[in-house]
Amino acid sequence: MLEFCGILLSLLATLASTSATRPATAPADRQFLAHGTISYAPPPGWQRQGTQDNPNASSYRRDDQTATILIINTPQEIALTDSIRIKLAQAIGKKIRDDLKSNGHESLIPPRIEEDPELFLRIHDRFVSEGKQIDRLHLYRSLGLNLLMVSISTWSDSPQANAEAFEAAREMALDAQIQSPQTPATQPAEPASLPKARLRVIPPSGWVAQWNDAPDGIVATFHDPHVADNNILLLACPIPEDIRHNSDARAKLIDELDQRAQNIYRPESARSGTPQQINDRRFIRKTITQHHLADGRVEVACRMVRADQVLVEVISISRSEQSRLVMKLADELALDVLPMEDQP
């Protein structure tokens, strides 16, 4: 968890020590990090800087060119605790002091913790770089299994302008929120019939549906309109008539279908774990696989049900920060799948 400190602090030093501008774009009302998982509102009068190649970071410069804000999200494996807070503060303080010394900057205020009950951690320091006095504030918030950092560096000669910049960064940090997947509304979505697949499906309300009615294969895909990485797929496989009463042949078909489902999401750049079987009596089989990517973790859950003479595998794909909610929607979708013969 602390490994990112060196990277983010070197980014902060770069932002604080340069006054050159880069191509900027005016931000919309809300911006997003971590593939849409976290949203935030940049303060008015600040312009987004450069291209956004890193989905977990973004930077802004104030219109008067006297301050910068860097926002970074770091996914966590475990929940953040007070003991982690202390270790993080110590690591950041040491890194700041080491960087100032190695770069020959004069420290005016050494890094110190400032109490803020609404934040996980708040660290303030001040130094001189290239004749400019840089006032800097690092703000950290815990958002689920995410550590969000908003860092403000300002070199204005006006104490009031510096204070206003600090407050703008704090409000930006406090405004950030996790974007929950679209959950079913009070009025459920209308059931959809798939004649070739011989299924009736109730899609998640508010999600975007793509239908591909066929006797076999992926017959439907559902996309969360708010978070691009959240998807649910429906894979159908008819049970041939000649094996319907052959338990060994049916078991083999179940294994084959499960393997097909596992192979649907196989990113080449990911370090993929072994599928873990979940004990859930509601399903013929349920597995969860974790795929570790460079910018976070993706969880793929497969659950299988039977609708008369059709095996159905419902596959949920989501970022780990939102997997619990997406898996719940996929579980409900799978349990509501019915054969068309049961349609009233």
The CATH number of the domain where 46 resides is what? 3.40.1000
For residue 187, tell me if it sits in a domain: no
In tens, the pLDDT along 79-109 reads: 788 888 899 999 999 999 999 999 999 999 9
For residue 186, tell me if it sits in a domain: no
Q: Are residues 280 and 239 part of one domain?
A: yes
Q: Are residues 173 and 198 part of one domain?
A: no
Q: Are residues 115 and 11 part of one domain?
A: yes
How far apart, in whole angstroms, are the C-alpha atoms of residue 181 and residue 314? 17
Question: Tokens 């995410």, residue?
Answer: 146
For residue 185, tell me if it sits in a domain: no
Q: Are residues 243 and 96 part of one domain?
A: no
pLDDT band of residue 180 (cuts 50, 70, 90) is low
For residue 210, tell me if it sits in a domain: yes
Q: Which of 178, 209, 237 is the last residue of a domain?
A: 178
Q: Give Cα 68 to chain centroid, integer Å.
A: 24
Average pLDDT over residues 316-331: 85
The SS3 of residue 105 is coil
Cβ atoms within 10 Å, residue 326: 25
For residue 157, tell me if it sits in a domain: yes
The DSSP secondary-structure symbol of 332 reads: H
Average pLDDT over residues 196-200: 94
The SS3 of residue 257 is helix
Q: Are residues 233 and 158 part of one domain?
A: no
For residue 183, tell me if it sits in a domain: no
Domain total in the chain: 2
Question: Tokens 């406090």, residue?
Answer: 174
Q: Are residues 298 and 213 part of one domain?
A: yes
Give the CATH number, domain containing residue 202. 2.60.120.1690
Q: Which of 129, 146, 178 is the last residue of a domain?
A: 178
Q: Are residues 150 and 64 part of one domain?
A: yes
For residue 184, tell me if it sits in a domain: no
pLDDT band of residue 182 (cuts 50, 70, 90) is low
For residue 303, tell me if it sits in a domain: yes
How far apart, in whole angstroms, are the C-alpha atoms of residue 311 and residue 294? 35
pTM for the full predicted model: 0.56
Q: Which of 151, 178, 205 is the last residue of a domain?
A: 178
Residues 50-56: contacts with CB within 8 Å, 24+ apart?
50/22, 50/23, 50/24, 51/23, 54/295, 55/295, 56/295, 56/296
Q: Are residues 233 and 92 part of one domain?
A: no
Q: Are residues 174 and 196 part of one domain?
A: no
Q: Does the pLDDT value for residue 78 go beyond 70?
A: yes
Q: Are residues 283 and 145 part of one domain?
A: no
Q: Are residues 320 and 215 part of one domain?
A: yes
Q: Are residues 133 and 206 part of one domain?
A: no
Q: Does the pLDDT value for residue 187 go beyond 80?
A: no
Q: Does the pLDDT value for residue 22 go beyond 70?
A: no
The interaxial angle of helices 82-102 and 5-17, nearest 10 deg, is 50
The SS3 of residue 66 is coil
Share of the chain above pLDDT 90, in %: 57
Range of the domain at 143: 2-178
The alpha helices in the chain, defined as continuous H runs, are 5-17, 82-102, 159-175, 247-262, 323-336
